[in-house]
Chains A and B, each alone.
Chain A
Amino acid sequence: MFYREAGQYKTTYQSDMAIFPLRQDRIGIIIILALAYVAVPLMASDFILKTIMLPFLALVLAVVGLNILTGYTGLISLGTAAFMGVGAYACYKLTTIFPDVNILIWILVSGFFSAAIGVVFGLPSLRIKGLYLAVATLAAQFFLQWAFVRIPWLYNYNPSGAIEVPLRTVFGVPVTGPTAAIEVKYLIALTFVVVLTWVASNIVHGRIGRSWMAVRDMDIAAQLMGIKLLEAKLLAFAVSSFYCGVSGALFVFIYLGGAEAGTEFGIRLSFIILFAVIIGGLGSMIGSFFGAGFIVALPTILKFGLPAIGIAITGAIAEKIVVMVIGALTIYLLIVEPHGLARLWQIAKQKLRVWPFPY
């Protein structure tokens, strides 16, 4: 009823291929952005910002990154957390070696380091597929994690083996380190997410994205159509790792404010991000947001939300429920709805479009 495209004519190819073809969608995205930029920092408490919004924004880029690799190109990776770690350590090294350069530049640049490492570990993907590729990326996970612990140069020979985020300012405003205001951190993370998501969305909707999807659907056919597998697959690894790297740098610099070598970027985080991709929806940008939001918010809501509305639940039980819910939902969605929450969202939109008629 309200969500109907009647009267909106597409007169150019450009408008036909737009990411948001409906006016309602465009208005919706503007409202969401306005809410995110204005309402959330003004209204939400520190607790919400710190425990839900910041980890959500930091992780959503990793989910987008893995989605590019797994959802769009069909290559399974279990090394996501390690690539995030590369970003975090690269950013740490860069900002300690060149402290005067704007930290925001380094956060972005650290993504390129991660991309380079990603390409190296992506090479086997030319020969091996499916589960075997997952094992190869698992090797990346373990090797890189080992390197984070064993190469003291990476953490500047810190006796506790941790990277500690120093104070960095942009135009005199502290953006990292303990004295940075949470709202500033939030806005920075949000800007990174908005810009990079916009870029990713354009990539996957363009020629490159189409070649990835062709590779995903059948790589021999794609090759016959003239898509160079080497380039397509390595580019997918590079772009995916770039997103993971930026996500890792944000995770440590904007969200955690310090990390112990080797524990933060473990295999567990890789799996969590993979679950987020599956729950959110393989091959969907909005699904990445749903998945990351679900994974980040569920434990916090169960643990702190339920007691606040009077349902007595201890933290330990909440954690067990989280594991059960995520596990059950992952299996359920894999069997019933591989396109995850994003597909449910699409169904909802379609229903609204034709409402009150069933078809």
Chain B
Amino acid sequence: MKTTRLALGLGLGLVAGFAAVSPVGAQESINFVHNTYRTGAFSGSGIPVADGVRDYFTMLNNRDGGISGVRINFEECETQYDTRRSVECWEQAKAKNSVVYVPWSTGAALATIPRAHIDKMPIFSMAYGLSAAAVGGTFPWVFNPPLTYWDGASVWIQYIAQREGGLANLRGKTVGLILLDAPFGREPIPVLEALAREHGFTLKTYPIPPAEMQNQSSTWLAIRRDRTDWVLVQGWGAMNPTAVREAGRTGFPRDKVIGIWWAGGDDDARPAGPDARGYLALSWHQVGTNFPVIQDILRHVVDRGQSNSAREKIGENLYNRGVYQGMLIAEAIRNAQRLTGKRVVTGEDVRRGFEVLNISAARWTELGAPDFAAPVALTCADHNGHHAAFVIQWDGTKWNRASDWIRPDRARIRPMLEEAARAYATSNAGWPARSETCDQPS
């Protein structure tokens, strides 16, 4: 009896598995399968981002009937921040003719980059993933605007110099870097080391193993012992709120702790309570709901009960980052429609759309987000842009902007990236030379 039921279950499962590949009906719509992690260890950061992207595309569908009148068939693919599942989502996106793949994890980006030019699906990894992908000549199918971790390191040091009263005053200072002991965490080290040599400050690194993310007391004791002047946080997930809490507990001045943009979630600072006041993070877009585009989301999505997000979470930093990503992708789809004259575009068209991406300050206003972020422009050679960022500060309840736009040191970063891209192409024997033509931006 037990076995018959088991056999039946297995049979059903198999049928379901094979049915999964049946193609999706294709009326006039553009498919977009978006990776999310609403479950797993990193869901705290994954949920607000996922909500932001989802709500933006739902808003476009509700308000304008999609992009240029073509509905966006938006779907989520759950990865749990797991590379195996992310690869599965790549196959799913391919099967559904998604026009772009958004990995939302460095591991997933690395695993899928070699497939992009074969499956003709561009990869959009916003300010994470393979930094060298900024070099469009080597990676025509990968885009990682608006800046790389290496640019982030440059912005960090420039901001510290501003606060210290000039680069000359950095001499003799000690800058600590708390990093997740994983490739992502070590990304900024080469740039920081070069800057330390040049400006005469000492760089101390404090690696945190992933298993010890929530146990940093010894690290912060070491920071005190080393008389560190500034602490940089290259963290993700549960590591960030712990760092902020420990800074408060050991009495390290919070306004001298600066997180990378992924350490700037509202839920990274909030759990530390009053101790978090003054904590800084990098960002490249504004927070809050005070933008027409966010108001449209509230009106067309949230008020209709179609959002997964709690109303008060809308406008938080990571939510707005999701919206920002949505706007860049939507603009690339729009460009693709304009370049090809087609209404329903493919992944190949959207790749071209990304290469001519150009959102000026005026365009940001047209998109309903005046002064929301710095202008973004990509070219065929430069898939990153190395755009400006700024520093935000936690006031105990919300983030506020705390600095002017700071431009990364492009002249220093760019040659390093090109070197890294060359190394990638040589170590991956048979890496194809760019054959994709380049469109002129109009």
Contact = CB atoms under 8 A, between A and B. Distances in A.
Q: Interface on chain B toward A: helix, strand, loop, or mixed SS? A: helix
Interface in B22-81: 22, 36, 38-40, 76-78, 80
B13 A305 contact: yes
A164 B182 contact: no
Nearest to B35: A315
Contacts of B106: 160, 260
A46 B95 CA distance: 9
Contacts, number: 169
Interface stretch (B1-9, B242-250, B261-269): B1-9
B91 A258 contact: no
Contacts of B183: 149, 160-162, 260-262
B114 A320 contact: no
Contacts of A303: 78, 88
A307 B17 CA distance: 10
Contact of A159 (B3, B94, B423, B429): B423
A223 interface: no
Contacts of B224: none
Interface residues of B, number: 57
Contacts of B115: 178, 257
Interface in B175-193: 181-183, 186-187, 190
Interface residues of A, number: 63
Given A164-B428, A259-B111, A316 B38 contact: yes
Nearest to A182: B91
Nearest to A50: B91
Which of B2, B13, B95, B420 lies at the interface centre, i.e. has the most chain A CB atoms within 10 A of its CB?
A: B13
A179 to B, nearest CB: 7
A177 B427 CA distance: 12
B18 to A, nearest CB: 7
A35 interface: no
A158 B87 contact: no
A30 interface: no
A318 interface: yes
A308 B429 CA distance: 39
Contacts of A344: 2-3, 6
Given A300-B88, A308-B19, A263 B107 contact: yes
Given A257-B115, A299-B85, A160 B130 contact: yes
Interface in A314-343: 314-316, 318-320, 341
Interface of A: 44-48, 50-52, 55, 96, 99, 142, 146, 149-150, 156, 158-162, 164-167, 177-179, 255-264, 266-267, 297-301, 303-309, 314-316, 318-320, 341, 344, 347-348, 351
14 contacts: A96-B427, A146-B209, A159-B132, A160-B106, A162-B183, A164-B428, A166-B428, A262-B210, A303-B78, A305-B17, A305-B19, A307-B20, A315-B77, A316-B76
Given A156-B427, A160-B183, A347-B2, 6 more contacts: A46-B94, A142-B211, A177-B428, A258-B113, A316-B36, A318-B78
